[in-house]
């Protein structure tokens, strides 16, 4: 009976070691993905005003994909920019930038 208990304990130790190894590998992959995301992120903050429904939808989708909301928004914006033709002129972009800057200053 002592042999059986020792065999069971040895088996349990091996299973636990395999689980720890699997968790460590997953954590390593997650850390690597986060490092890649962080290194590719720009140091430009954008503040957007969106309605509550859109914010909730973004949170839910980010949770489903297990990524930060900011990473989801960056990906969606990149996809949208790749699909939409450039229809704004330089003057229109400058006007938008000035309006955003005014709003930012007004909210401080």
For 10-20, what is each residue's pLDDT tens digit? Answer: 888 888 888 88
For 40-63, what is each residue's pLDDT tens digit? Answer: 655 677 788 899 999 999 999 988
Sequence-distant contacts of 38-41: CB under 8 A, at least 24 apart = 41/70, 41/74
Instruction: Say if residues 97 and 104 touch (Cβ distance below 8 Å).
Output: no
Token pair in block for residue 65: 């994909």
Greater model confidence, 31 or 85:
31
Angle made by CA atoms 107, 49, 42, in degrees to the nearest 5: 90
Instruction: Say if residues 62 and 72 touch (Cβ distance below 8 Å).
Output: yes
Prediction pTM value: 0.40
């Amino acid at each position: 009976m002592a042999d059986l208990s020792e065999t069971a304990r040895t088996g349990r130790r091996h299973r636990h070691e395999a689980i720890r190894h699997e968790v460590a590998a997953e954590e390593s992959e997650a850390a690597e993905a986060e490092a890649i995301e962080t290194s590719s992120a720009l140091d430009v903050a954008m503040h957007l005003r969106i309605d509550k429904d859109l914010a909730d939808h973004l949170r839910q989708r980010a949770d489903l994909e297990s990524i930060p909301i900011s990473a989801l928004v960056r990906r969606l914006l990149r996809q949208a920019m790749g699909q939409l033709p450039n229809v704004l002129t330089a003057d229109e972009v400058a006007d938008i930038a000035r309006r955003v800057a005014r709003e930012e200053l007004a909210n401080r």
